[in-house]
Amino acid sequence: MATRPVFIPQHDNNHLVEELSLEFDWHSGFAISQKKKNIVSLHSAAKAKGLAHILEVSTKSEEKLGIRLSAFSLKVTTPDGFSVPLESAYQGSKIFEYGGPFTDLFFAEPRAAKQDERLKTHGALKCFKFGMTEWELEPKTAFYDWLYLYALKDHADYLQRLFKYDGFSDIEFNPKKSYSCQARACAILVSLLKKQLFPQVVYDRNFFIDVLRPNSLLQPHSHNTIKQNSLFNS
C-alpha cells in the first residue's frame, strides 16, 4: 500500500486547493507499466471518494493533455524570449549559498537539468531568480506555481479542457521527498480561473503570493492591466 495526494480546486471558499491523501495498492518497480498501474489504482481510490474525473499530470499519463502539462513537456518563455522546458527553467533559476543561478540549464534537457551536479554541491538553496525578479523560499511552492501558471497563460485550449476534471494527480510526486508539484499547480490554476483571478495574478508577484496564503481575501486585483514585462523589471 502507498499514500499519495490528489489536488482538488476550490472555488467556494478562501482556499485554492484541497489536498486529499489517498491510500491505494502500490505496484513496485521502475517500469512505465508499473507506474501506469499505480495511476489506475490511485484514481480508483479517488473515484471511491466521489472524484470520478482525475487527470494525471506527468509523462506517465494516459491522456495527451496530462503529458503536455508535464513540467518536462510544457514550455515557458524566458525574459530573453527563449522557449525552454519548464523543469529546466525551474532548475536554472535556483540560487544557492555558493553559486547560481545556473541559467545554462535553461537549455538543457529537463532530466539532465534536474540531475545537474551543481544543484547538489553549492550549499543550501537560498532563493530563485527569473529575469530580474527574485523569489524567496516562502511560501514554499510560490515560484514553481507561478512559473507553471506563467507558462499556461497563453494556452486557452488547455485552460478550457482543465475545467472538466475533479482533481489532479502526479504519481511521481511524494510529499515526503519534495514539495513542488505540477498537479497542485494545475489545481491552483483551475481555482484561480473559477475565481476570475487568472491571468492577472501572473503579472503581480506580491498579489500572487498573497492569494497562495490560506484565508487570503482572494479578490480580483486592480492591477489586471499590468504589462507582461513589468514583473521582470521589478
One-character DSSP codes across 114-164: HT-GGGTSS-SEEEEEETTEEE-S-STTHHHHHHHHHHHTT-HHHHHHHTT
pLDDT of residue 11: 80
Asked, for residue 121, whether it belongs to a domain, the answer is: no
Average pLDDT for 43-65: 97
Which of these ranges, 7-21, 162-176, 188-202, has the smallest mean pLDDT? 7-21
145 inside domain: yes
Could you say which DSSP state residue 200 is in?
Answer: G
What does the alpha-carbon distance between residue 10 and residue 23 come to, in Å, rounded to a whole number? 22
User: Quick check: 200 pLDDT over 50?
Assistant: yes
Domain count, the chain: 1
Task: Decide if pLDDT at 229 tops 80.
Answer: no
- What does residue 216 show for φ and ψ, rounded to 5 degrees? -70, 165
Range of the domain at 69: 2-73+139-233
Classify residue 101: in a domain, yes or no: no
On whether residue 86 sits in a domain, the answer given is no
pLDDT confidence of residue 220:
45
List the beta bridge partners of residue 94.
128
So what's the pLDDT on residue 27? 96
Asked whether residue 196 is domain-assigned, the answer is: yes
Average pLDDT, the chain: 91
- pLDDT confidence of residue 216: 52
Q: What is the pLDDT of residue 108?
A: 98
Task: Tell me the mean pLDDT in the region 127-151.
Answer: 96
pLDDT number for residue 42: 98
Cα distance between residue 143 and residue 171, in whole Å = 22
| Residue 44 falls inside a structural domain | yes
With pLDDT > 90 as the criterion, what percentage of the chain qualifies?
86
Task: Determine the pLDDT at residue 224.
Answer: 39
pTM of the model: 0.90
Section 122-147 average pLDDT: 96
* Section 52-61 average pLDDT: 97
Domain assignment present for 6: yes
Residue 130 within a domain:
no
Q: Where does the pLDDT of residue 15 fall: very low under 50, low under 70, confident under 90, or very high at 90 and above?
A: confident
Q: Which tens digit of pLDDT belongs to each residue from 85-107?
A: 999 999 999 999 999 999 999 99
Please state whether beta strands 54-56 and 167-169 pair in parallel, antiparallel, or not at all (unpaired). Answer: parallel
Euclidean distance between CA atoms 88 and 72, whole angstroms: 8
